[in-house]
Amino acid sequence: MGPGEALLAGLLVMVLAVALLSNALVLLCCAYSAELRTRASGVLLVNLSLGHLLLAALDMPFTLLGVMRGRTPSAPGACQVIGFLDTFLASNAALSVAALSADQWLAVGFPLRYAGRLRPRYAGLLLGCAWGQSLAFSGAALGCSWLGYSSAFASCSLRLPPEPERPRFAAFTATLHAVGFVLPLAVLCLTSLQVHRVARRHCQRMDTVTMKALALLADLHPSVRQRCLIQQKRRRHRATRKIGIAIATFLICFAPYVMTR
């Protein structure tokens, strides 16, 4: 193993440790929080963290071994199982992010309807759709024998089939990434923009009331009004920055997977 492989292996170990610890902490918080267990967002969060935890515990160690040894797992059928889990869990994670984004938009945009209608059973219905869709794609890849070891990425996942099957494989991967990446990204962008619009409208109402109250104070120093205006601008910029960070984080986490598959 050369210096490059050693550096990559060390990075994978760090990512693996952080993923296991952070997702385990999230699951523990959800387990000890009665409020999260009774909310739809809590169920969606548990599903997302559990998927990440399984991906880190079952898939990443074999990628680490692939980097260190440069070959496929020796157990018969192990690479197909790992590839199945890789495709299933990655697709399920992206769809869970989309479900969480939609849940956040409903909670902010329709608070009264959200509190009365969106119970954990509706979250279970969303998760059932996400799991069924992910199982369908990963099962199709396994049935068509499109799962195997890729030496370029040192992992068991989708691999390029022989020439006669490549048109079918191209259609499959295009559909997989359209549903498992483009659709969640579009949902994330649209719901984030809607949440930002609703929050900005509420902030504008509060700012209007604040400025009217300040106008009634005749002896108020002008610097106080100026400071209030500066704080309003900072809140708007902070909200926009948070939305940009959320979308950029999704792209950083999922775009490499899409590009390598």
Q: Tokens 């990204």 — which residue?
A: 185
Is a pLDDT exceeding 70 seen at residue 217?
no
Residue type at 204 in one-letter notation: Q
What is the band of 114 on the pLDDT scale with cuts at 50, 70, 90? low
Is a pLDDT exceeding 60 seen at residue 218?
no
Q: What integer pLDDT is reported at residue 212 of this predicted model?
A: 64
Q: Quick one: average pLDDT of 250-254?
A: 83
> Tens digit of pLDDT for each residue in 230-247?
666 676 677 778 788 888
Angle CA 251–253–259, to nearest 5: 75
Domain ranges of the chain: 73-260
Q: What integer pLDDT is reported at residue 42 of this predicted model?
A: 80
Taken in order 53, 59, 62, 64, is the CA torsion positive or negative?
negative
At the fourth CATH level, the homologous superfamily of domain 73-260 is Rhodopsin 7-helix transmembrane proteins (1.20.1070.10)
Q: What integer pLDDT is reported at residue 76 of this predicted model?
A: 65
The pair of three-digit structure tokens given for residue 79, joined into one six-digit string: 């690479």
Is a pLDDT exceeding 70 seen at residue 210?
no
> Tens digit of pLDDT for each residue in 153-189?
777 788 878 888 888 888 888 888 888 888 888 988 8
